[in-house]
Structure 1
Amino acid sequence: MTTYPARPIAPSVLKELRTVDDAGRPTVPVADDEGGAPLRCCLRRSEPGERIALVSYAPLRRWAAETGAQPGAYDEQGPVFIHADECEGPDLDGHPFDNAHRTVRRYSADGHILGGELVEAPDDVAFRNAFDDPSVALVHVRAVEYGCFLYEVRRG
């Protein structure tokens, strides 16, 4: 059975984002008084009192830079929460944020959106449905309510 691991934001990218985000703004750490922010560095929710930052992140742009894709107008950036300081990274069994309303957005190798699916079944079913199409290179899992990027899954 094929598994589809969730990919957090890479440590090298996090190092950059902890200084300046993808919109060119300086990162401003804050103490998270309430907890519950979906952290894209370790793929878990924050705990009260942790130092976090809300930064602008362009996941498709960064993937395109690695692969040579030209996403054009599909290149977007949006807000994500990260730890303000280096963290341990994810310690997952399964997929993160599975209690959130999610969509799986499919992208081609050239970075264009091929469609999406509201996740109603287990995540692996949605990923299998996406990757059954050979033209799908990667998927982004996004929150329905705000459209925020949660994590990425790549083909095999």
Structure 2
Amino acid sequence: MALRYICMPAEEAQRIWRGGRDANGNLPERHISDGDGVPCRHCLSNVEADQPYLILAYRPFLSVQPYAEMGPIFLHAEECPAAADGQTMPPVLTSSKDYLLRGYGADERIVYGTGGVIPQEQLEQRAEELLARPDVAFVHVRSAKYNCYQCRIERC
């Protein structure tokens, strides 16, 4: 099965870069990267050392309902291009030893029994297994340590 890695929508990133507020109604915080573990959710690459980035609350769902989790993410402070082709594992998913994967139905609700911490080298295999299920429409990849949203994976 071919996978497609989906970054934060360009419209949402543009809104933030133009002074928009985050999911909590706050302006993003601006910081300088130390170059270690600052993954931008738009280009799906790490923010390089000494480069500015934003911290903001983000809800990666269209609906607002109990399973529509919100949490902190990083975004380059200056506009960056959206993640490349979407069919190649992005750099942000190769920088940790493990990730939390969780399947969601078309209604954007967690499909129980799909969540688990997966070693990085098994990430694609587990995503394929979850997406082979008829009740799973997409998968979220999250930080295993902090539960921060990384990206979404869908079938191609």
Identity %: 24
Q: Deviations over 1:3-37 (max 9, x none)?
A: 212111111010123321111101232332x1221
TM-score by length of 1: 0.84
Structure 1, unaligned runs of 5 or more: 65-70
TM-score by length of 2: 0.84
> Stretches of 4+ moved more than 3 A in 1?
none
Aligned residue in 1 for 2:56: 55
1:16 & 1:22 partners in 2: Cα distance? 12
1:99 & 1:105 partners in 2: Cα distance? 19
Structure 2, unaligned runs of 5 or more: none
Instruction: Please give the residue correspondences for 1:1-156 in structure 2 after superposition, counting only pairs within 5 Å.
Output: 2-18=1-17, 19-32=20-33, 34-36=34-36, 37-60=38-61, 62=62, 64=63, 72-91=65-84, 93-95=88-90, 96-100=92-96, 101-114=98-111, 115-120=114-119, 121-156=121-156
Alignment check: 8 A CA contact 1:38 1:97 kept: no
Q: Deviations over 1:50-102 (max 9, x none)?
A: 11000100002x3x3xxxxxx62111210000011211232474243223220
2:3 aligns to what SS in structure 1?
Answer: coil
2:115 aligns to what SS in structure 1?
Answer: strand
- Root-mean-square deviation (CA, aligned residues, Å) is 1.8
